A and B are shown apart, each in its own frame.
Chain A
Amino acid sequence: DTAVSQTPKYLVTQMGNDKSIKCEQNLGHDTMYWYKQDSKKFLKIMFSYNNKELIINETVPNRFSPKSPDKAHLNLHINSLELGDSAVYFCASSQEWSSEGTDTQYFGPGTRLTVL
């Protein structure tokens, strides 16, 4: 079973639309994340969230919002999509402590978003 899954894998949409990307983890982790990886392959944190706290990267436009129905899910909603939103979006999760180290993150397969 996939540990961290995302849907859809590919998303092509028109500028101005609203879209969502879903993320689910079955690792029992407490914290989930959303990253944006641009064309230069630089991973940029957007949000980190656990049942206690949502940490938002202040550079992320408020058109982006995370929604967590429960501990295993963190969905990403994007309103009024813009051309510059085209990128690969990765979901990840971590546990506060594991044998591999503090907050080792496990990534989903990514969602390639193309805004036309």
Chain B
Amino acid sequence: GQNIDQPTEMTATEGAIVQINCTYQTSGFNGLFWYQQHAGEAPTFLSYNVLDGLEEKGRFSSFLSRSKGYSYLLLKELQMKDSASYLCAVMDSNYQLIWGAGTKLIIKP
């Protein structure tokens, strides 16, 4: 079957760095997405990786290793507004998005 694994919850301190991991097993691979979802709001697009390596976008970076079925989202200089759920999603060979359950990130002052 198809599976996306990510930690259920993580806690970090304001100003620090946190890494949220995602491992996947899917039938084919056409890219990996990270979305941010604040409580009570819709998911919003953060990043897309289809090739191995690190993609940097301001305070957020996303890394992909296709051979390991592994990605991480790195958040630097954490701010209180970064408290949200972070959803990992993989596009399979049929161009269907397979979603992880999300990682709830709690930022403490």
Contact = CB atoms under 8 A, between A and B. Distances in A.
Interface of A: 4, 40-45, 48, 55, 90, 100-110
A107 B99 contact: no
B31 A101 contact: yes
A101 B57 CA distance: 14
Given A101-B48, A101-B50, A41 B85 contact: yes
A102 B31 contact: yes
A42 B104 CA distance: 12
Contact of A106 (B37, B45, B95, B96): B45
Given A4-B42, A107-B42, A107-B44, 14 more contacts: A41-B101, A42-B101, A45-B97, A101-B31, A101-B48, A102-B30, A102-B48, A103-B95, A104-B45, A105-B33, A105-B97, A106-B45, A107-B43, A109-B42
Contacts of B85: 41
Contacts of A105: 33, 45, 97
Interface residues of B, number: 22
A3 B24 CA distance: 30
B102 A41 contact: yes
> How would you classify the secondary structure of chain A's contact residues: helix, strand, loop or mixed?
strand
Interface string B35-46: 001001111110
Interface string B67-109: 0000000000000000001010001000111010110100000
B31 A43 contact: no
